[in-house]
Amino acid sequence: MATLAAIIGRICIAVLFVLAGIGKLMDPAGTAQYISAHTTFSGQLAVPAGVFEIVAGLVLASGFMTRLAAVVLIGFTAFVTVLFHNQITDPQVAQQALKNLAIIGGLLMVFAYGQVRGTLGSWRERDRAHDAEVRAARAEGRAEGAEHVATHDTAVVHEERPVDRPRL
């Protein structure tokens, strides 16, 4: 049950970033104006910021490189909070800053439990462990077979000549 909750929580957080990125790409002029009005950065960062949020959100949702995606999104969210939501005396700005703080907290949980079952990394790790077990079992079987042959006094000898087979 904890695994399912972790997967659903990770996807919910990722959806926030994907939708925010889509919003930035749907209204790049409005986003550019907001960036220019609140910072010294160029408004041309609107489209790259939107693309970044979509890509990072999809990476987080997919479970591929979960911890890296969480750390990158933590840095991005903290940067945006300090840049755009620093007037905490305004109730609306304070609410946005607290929302971002909660998102950072959720991303820290994703980072802490990033490799739970249900992520691509955990599936690959499970497959590697299974392959190692299969190789060990095969080697053990070969060793037992060699030991069995060595302990028997009567060896089977074939007197016939091998048949020459045409090569293809």
Task: State residue 78's pLDDT score.
Answer: 96
Is the distance from CB of 22 to CB of 54 less than 8 angstroms? yes
Considering the entire predicted model, what is its pTM? Answer: 0.67
- Under a CB-based contact definition with an 8 Å cutoff, are residues 7 and 114 in contact? no
The mean per-residue pLDDT over the stretch 68-95 comes to: 91
Rounded Cα distance between 57 and 11, Å, is: 8
Check whether 77 has a pLDDT greater than 90.
yes
The answer to whether 3 and 118 have CB atoms below 8 angstroms apart is yes
Mean pLDDT for 25-37 is: 91
First to last CA, the chain: 56
How many helices (H) and strands (E) the chain has is answered by: 6, 0
Residues across the chain: 168
Residue with the larger pLDDT of the pair 73 and 157: 73
**pLDDT band at residue 156, thresholds of 50, 70 and 90?**
low
